[in-house]
Amino acid sequence: MKQARTQLIFVIAVLAVWEYISRSGQVSALLFPSLEKIGESLVKGFTKDDLISYTLYSMGLIARGLGIGILLSFVFSGLSVVSKHFSYIFNFVVSVMDLIPGIALLPLAILWFGIGQTTVIVIVVHGVLWPMSRNILDGFKSIPSIYVESGKNIGLNGLELVTGIYLPASFNSVLSGLRVGWARAWRGLISIEMVFGTTGSGAGIGWYIFMKRTNLDTAGVFASLLVIIFIGLIVEYGIFHIIEIKTVRKWGIIKNGN
């Protein structure tokens, strides 16, 4: 409650300062639209501008990209435990690919996969695969050797050793990787939609922001950003935070309140 109260006070203070700047007349309303204007644009977006369809389209793409990226992260990280040679190669690939922004790969992805959903999903997979794999691999390396030896002593090998020892013992790192991967994939998706525009089957919230910016509808841009923030908060506190409470906090891996 103390944490929530502090955060609420901070948000109210920021909104109060924003409203003061907006109504002072010292700054153009185009730069700092009032909270009332932003609220009106938000309502208009869902009632008239079909913002819900843009949002659902983006969520569908991110869900597919995240699913593929998470699966590949677990598979490749698990193989790194089973095979030392694969581990050498995969660690090198992660170090290289994690340095490349997803937006930088967009021209190549368009050449290889064309203009469509596949290109967007590939960039989303790129955004989640490498940072999540890095976190998982770092988590595997931090596991005390006695855990691994204990697993081998009871007959665990290969996949059983990964699922029975490595993943549970490093779950805090796995969860951190999920958070980082989700954030990078979500940012990458919005950026790509703003550059990429529409596909044959629809357009996402990034394209909606681009249209609002083109029409100099700053309030509409801020309203769109609020939707993005709201989705992020739902994922963080409605999914990741609950998983954290039910797992690593319950197990005592991290302390409650940290």
Domain that holds residue 209: 39-251
Range with the poorest average pLDDT among 44-53, 233-242, 243-252: 243-252
3-class DSSP assignment, residue 170: coil
Q: What pLDDT, on a 0 to 100 scale, did the predictor assign at position 254?
A: 60
Q: What pLDDT, on a 0 to 100 scale, did the predictor assign at position 29?
A: 73
pLDDT tier for residue 19 given thresholds of 50, 70 and 90: confident
Is residue 224 over pLDDT 80? Answer: yes
Chain center to CA of 82? 28
Using left for φ > 0, alpha for ψ between -120 and 50, and beta otherwise, residue 32 falls in beta
Q: What pLDDT, on a 0 to 100 scale, did the predictor assign at position 256?
A: 57
Is residue 199 over pLDDT 60? Answer: no
Query: What are the DSSP calls for 38-94, one per residue?
Result: HHHHHHHHHHTS-HHHHHHHHHHHHHHHHHHHHHHHHHHHHHHHH-HHHHHHHHHHH
Is residue 31 in some structural domain?
no
Is residue 16 in some structural domain?
no
Q: What pLDDT, on a 0 to 100 scale, did the predictor assign at position 202?
A: 67
For residue 117, give the CATH number of its domain: 1.10.3720.10
Is residue 242 over pLDDT 80? Answer: yes
Distance CA 45, CA 85 (A): 53
Q: What pLDDT, on a 0 to 100 scale, did the predictor assign at position 255?
A: 58
Percent of the chain's residues with pLDDT above 70: 93
Is residue 9 in some structural domain?
no
Residue type, 246: K
Is residue 8 in some structural domain?
no
User: What would the pLDDT profile of 86-129 be if each residue is shown by its tens digit?
Assistant: 889 999 999 888 888 888 888 888 888 877 788 888 888 998 89
Do residues 206 and 192 lie in contact, with contact meaning Cβ atoms separated by under 8 Å? yes
pTM, entire model: 0.80
Do residues 211 and 41 lie in contact, with contact meaning Cβ atoms separated by under 8 Å? no
Is residue 252 over pLDDT 70? Answer: no
Is residue 23 in some structural domain?
no
Is residue 70 in some structural domain?
yes
Is residue 195 over pLDDT 60? Answer: yes
Mean pLDDT within 46-63:
87
Is residue 164 in some structural domain?
yes
Is residue 193 in some structural domain?
yes
Q: What pLDDT, on a 0 to 100 scale, did the predictor assign at position 196?
A: 66
The count of domains in the chain is 1
The number of C-alpha atoms within 13 Å of 22 and in the hemisphere containing its C-beta is 18
Taking CB atoms within 8 Å and a gap of at least 24, the contacts of 140-145 are 140/77, 140/80, 140/81, 140/166, 140/170, 140/173, 142/170, 142/173, 143/169, 143/170, 144/169
Percent of the chain's residues with pLDDT above 90: 4
pLDDT tier for residue 187 given thresholds of 50, 70 and 90: confident
Q: What is the mean pLDDT of the chain?
A: 83
User: What phi, psi does 162 have (nearest 5°)?
Assistant: -65, -50
Distance CA 253, CA 184 (A): 25
